[in-house]
Amino acid sequence: MSADDPKTLVSTEWLAAHLKDPDLRILDGSWYLPTVQRDPKAEYDAAHIPGARFFDIDDVSDNRSELPHMAPPPEKFMSRMRAMGIGDGHQVVVYDGAGLNSAARVWWLFRLMGQHNVAVLDGGFPKWQAEGRPIEDLPPIVRDRHMTVRVQNQLVRDVTQVSSASKLGDHEIIDARSAGRFAGTDPEPRAGLRSGHIPGSRNLPFQTLLTEKGTMKDVPELRAAFEAAGIDLAKPAITTCGSGVTAAILALAMERLGKTDWSVYDGSWSEWGAFPTLPVATGEN
């Protein structure tokens, strides 16, 4: 697989070369935990890649759920994307203000909705800015385009399916949270959640898959990181994290490896950690 793949990950050089393509659509998918105290929409309004639209992960979600930013119904996704001028035939590139973080969640949402021409910008806005590439503070010109959605149910798992996988051991459940949160020694950033992890899961903190510059490691290094965490890549995988955001980074990495039998536990620890009847394990892998 080449370094630039419009279905998974593209470089800032690739995006700069395609910036004026008529069917390119760029999304700022920045999202942060409240503890970070960053306002992604305000940052977007102040400066973004030319032509970029702001993708609000909390808005493009299922507001019927009490869990944070769960995947939206397909009709809502279609409606929001049409309002943003994104539809069939577009090549979508998603970035975020952290480098490579929440953009992967947006990539996963598009894949869940059956859209394949979507990639994450490697290194995100920090790398783009550091290279002195163009930015603007203007709102984009939006023209409606229809989007055909075909939900790919195999890319998402609910609590019942994850509970079954945990008991049967027929999937690798991979947790993207920090080692301390996984082990149960560090508190959860969301109030009311127990500490620990899903029994039988493996810990692969998402930062392990990134370079010091915030870009994704190359394929051999990614494979080595999964193997070092004791993960059997021959088994189907379910990724999880705090609320289904950084779990998508693990999914993106596996897609880069050519592994396609993965899914994201959308509720993640925000759901599992809140239910006293679900078992919790502590300690390391």
Q: Which domain, by its residues, includes 179?
A: 154-272
* CA 26 – CA 48 distance, rounded (Å): 10
Which residue in 237, 241, 250, 253 is the catalytic one? 241
Same domain, 140 and 162: no
**Which amino acid is located at 148 in the chain?**
T
State yes or no: is 241 an active-site residue: yes
Q: For residue range 184-200, what is the model confidence (pLDDT) as tens digits?
A: 999 999 889 999 999 99
| 65, 90: one domain | yes
Q: Are 198 and 263 members of one domain?
A: yes
Residue 120 forms part of a structural domain: yes
Domain boundary among 151, 171, 205: 151
For every residue of 162-220, DSSP letters joined together read HHHHHHH--SEEEE-S-HHHHHT-S--SSTT--SSB-TT-EE--GGGGB-TTSPBPPHH
Q: How many domains does one find in the chain?
A: 2
Instruction: Name the amino acid, one letter, at 261.
Output: D
The per-residue pLDDT for range 21-33, each reduced to its tens digit, is 999 999 999 999 8
Is the Cβ–Cβ distance between 162 and 173 less than 8 Å? yes
Q: Are 162 and 94 contained in the same domain? A: no
- pLDDT per position as a tens digit, 142-181: 998 999 999 999 999 999 999 999 999 999 999 999 999 9
* φ, ψ at 25 (rounded to 5°): -130, 125
